Structure 1
Amino acid sequence: MEKDYLQRFETVLKMQRYSENSIRNYLSNLSYFLKISSSYKPENLTQKQLEDFIIWLVDKKKVGQSHQKAMMATITKFYKEILQKNISLKHLYPKRKENKLPKFLTKEEVKRILQCTENLKHKAILTTIYACGLRLSEALELNISDIKSDQNVLLVRQSKGNKDRVVSLSDKLLVLLREYYKKYQPKKYLFEGAGEEKYSPRSVQQILKNALRKAQIISPASVHTLRHSYATHLLENGTDIRIIKELLGHKNIKTTEIYTHITDISKLHIKSPLDSL
């Protein structure tokens, strides 16, 4: 039954044109919910039982606000789309925002990470993520045709919120990608794994983990930290936060303001922080 629910929910999400990453997160949350509540049929769960599940996640499992919100959104959508039942969990929505500063690496730390990554494909992946401020899912979705070398831009298609955007392409990155392309000859995706499939997200996380160890960097970091570092280093270079918002693909500038300071530097003068390493 769980498999049937997941398949039906996946079909609805695909028809509603959700991104692959969003679908994956929805299905992961739903699978967890169905397993924890497997003693009951979902349609027989009461409003209170659903509320108790969210409370249990927060009190016992100590999930963060983002996980709490995602799980509530998943349950609400599942009941509406699959069970045709409207439920409301809005009263359990976090009232206070978490004011967590994004983790980032210094320019010197990023430089050491890239220098310690000897495998050409691995270096190309990490460098692209940092130099263009990409989410991991965005980097792995890149097609060869998304590189517009004559205009020095990279097209990021159907990112979070199904929005396309354009980011500047570093000269250093372009040289590296040309070297990488000559050696690996990818067919469709810029970064391909076995059988011309997209490269594995878990493999990229492992690449960074290995690089952190080799570079003897003790700062806690994930692949997403490279994106945070990109934004932070742009600010340090004097880039207007409103421009950084567009480069990161943020919907609301308040999301970008966690990186602080607004300046008046023209977007036309922007260079990737990679060029100053």
Structure 2
Amino acid sequence: MYKVELKPDFYQGKECIGIYGPDTLQFNSTIKKIKGIKWNHNQRIFYMDCTRIAFENFKNQVANHFYLDTSILRQYLLQKKALVGPIEKPIRSVTANKIISHPLCIENSLALEAMRNMLILKGYSNNTIRNYLFEFQSLLRLLKENSVNILSKAHIQSYLLWLLKEKGCSETKVHTAVNALKFYFEHVLEREKELYDLPRPKKPFKLPSILAEEEVVEIIKNIQNIKHKTMIMAAYSAGLRVSEIVSLKIKNIDNKRMMIHIQGAKGKKDRMVPLSNILLTMLRKYYKEYHPKEYLFEGQNGGAYSARSVQEILQVAKQKVTNKVGGVHMLRHSYATHLMEAGTDIRIIQSLLGHNSIRTTMLYTHVSKIAIGKIESPLDKLKW
């Protein structure tokens, strides 16, 4: 019997399974008879969709003709399951290619899956799960066939030092790596306090970019599409994170009480923020034109709008107005700063932003014109 290898691949923007066999008449004629098999013109191989149904159909029809080697495919699917969930779940080409080019050993793939399961059980947010798994996988790729479970505290410290000195990673990235590794060793392997004193680089204190009120107006004026304009107005009017914008549902807009109900925000917290009169007028115009069904801002095929697309909308509009660096979160920073400059109590701003600690909100005192804008420069006091 001929040996046929099944390997993971990515072709024409879709995940697939490549079929690698001998270039013989028997092989080619057998494959061509199977429904659902396609031809990859670039690599000149047969392939099928990466689904359980397609795989089972193929296996059943060639069982008497070929011996199937699925070792590489199994390794890929195990790693994919640990990163993104079920086999049928779509995966980005960048993620798929990383898995294909840097396969993990079975033991480390199981470690990655165990970490994912524990993060879900403990109720961590999707963003935190994604970030922790990414950092953990980065370490696992370096280990190759060595098990992560045998690493000592000294090994971990050497890895973190390598991230800082050799890779030039930011302090924020290293902090995330520390948290991810602490989670695995302490919550998955249940080691006691062995890694609590890992060295943590000091984060740099950076002030956020703030838009002037006139710049906010010009940015909104530069957006012609009513849906895009309304999303950016909503972001600024209520200090919303980009994830909160795309998660808004029609039911979250309370025009009787003039409030917006933000549900399941960062830290799985709900909060209420005021609904702007100008935004409500814009929302009514938008609703008449687009008729969203569930989410306030829906994509072309229904469901929630893409967070990345919202960022792109802002960037296109912003580049015509200012060269200040920042995305949608800049609007949130600007919202908080403008409230503070208008005399709003900092405790109220903390509640509107959904901050756990007042210390986080205090950041805006460093950029508010109230505190520093009235100070006269010594240069202006000189007699010329």
Cα contact 1:19–1:158 (8 A) shared by 2 = no
Q: 1:131 to 1:31 in 2, by over 3 A?
A: farther
Residue from 81, 85, 90 that aligns with 2:197? 90
In 2: Cα distance, 1:185 partner to 1:79 partner:
49
Q: 1:140 to 1:90 in 2, by over 3 A?
A: farther
In 1: Cα distance, 2:298 partner to 2:199 partner:
42
- Unaligned residue ranges in structure 1 (runs of 5+): 262-277
What count of residue pairs does the alignment treat as equivalent?
259
Which residue type is aligned with residue 66 of structure 1?
T
Q: Deviations over 1:20-57 (max 9, x none)?
A: 33323333333333334445322132322211221222
Q: Which moved more, 1:51-60 or 1:101-110?
A: 51-60
Matches within 5 A, 1:130-209: 130-209=236-315
Cα contact 1:51–1:89 (8 A) shared by 2 = no
Matches within 5 A, 1:14-33: 14-33=120-139
1:226 aligned residue: 331
Moved over 6 A (4+): none
Matches within 5 A, 1:50-61: 50-61=156-167
Q: Deviations over 1:204-261 (max 9, x none)?
A: 1111111112x23111121111110111111111111111111111101011101118
Q: Is it true that 1:127 corresponds to 2:233 in the alignment?
A: yes
Task: Output the TM-score relative to the length of structure 1.
Answer: 0.85
Q: Is it true that 1:76 corresponds to 2:177 in the alignment?
A: no
In 1: Cα distance, 2:284 partner to 2:120 partner:
34
Aligned-residue RMSD, C-alpha: 2.1
1:266 aligned residue: none
User: Following TM superposition, by how much is the alpha carbon of 1:97 offset from its aligned partner in structure 2, in angstroms?
Assistant: 5.0
Q: Which moved more, 1:52-61 or 1:144-153?
A: 52-61
Q: Which has the larger radius of gyration?
A: 2
1:35 aligned residue: 141
User: Following TM superposition, by how much is the alpha carbon of 1:89 offset from its aligned partner in structure 2, in angstroms?
Assistant: 4.7
User: Following TM superposition, by how much is the alpha carbon of 1:162 offset from its aligned partner in structure 2, in angstroms?
Assistant: 1.4
Cα contact 2:232–2:314 (8 A) shared by 1 = yes
Q: 1:118 to 1:57 in 2, by over 3 A?
A: same
Q: 1:8 to 1:121 in 2, by over 3 A?
A: farther
1:265 aligned residue: none
Which residue type is aligned with residue 9 of structure 1?
M
**Greater RCO (CA < 8 Å, at least 6 residues apart):** 1
Which residue type is aligned with residue 28 of structure 1?
F
SS in 2 for 1:161: coil
In 1: Cα distance, 2:365 partner to 2:138 partner:
36
In 2: Cα distance, 1:151 partner to 1:237 partner:
23
Cα contact 2:157–2:198 (8 A) shared by 1 = no
Residue from 243, 248, 251 that aligns with 2:348? 243
In 2: Cα distance, 1:185 partner to 1:6 partner:
42
In 2: Cα distance, 1:33 partner to 1:197 partner:
35
Q: Higher helix fraction: Structure 1 or Structure 2?
A: 1
Q: 1:190 to 1:82 in 2, by over 3 A?
A: same
In 2: Cα distance, 1:19 partner to 1:64 partner:
23
Task: Output the TM-score relative to the length of structure 2.
Answer: 0.63
User: Following TM superposition, by how much is the alpha carbon of 1:59 offset from its aligned partner in structure 2, in angstroms?
Assistant: 2.2
User: Following TM superposition, by how much is the alpha carbon of 1:7 offset from its aligned partner in structure 2, in angstroms?
Assistant: 4.1
Q: Which moved more, 1:164-173 or 1:52-61?
A: 52-61
Q: Higher strand fraction: Structure 1 or Structure 2?
A: 2
Cα contact 1:2–1:31 (8 A) shared by 2 = no
- Unaligned residue ranges in structure 2 (runs of 5+): 1-77, 83-110, 367-384
1:47 aligned residue: 153
2:208 aligned residue: 102
Cα contact 1:19–1:159 (8 A) shared by 2 = no
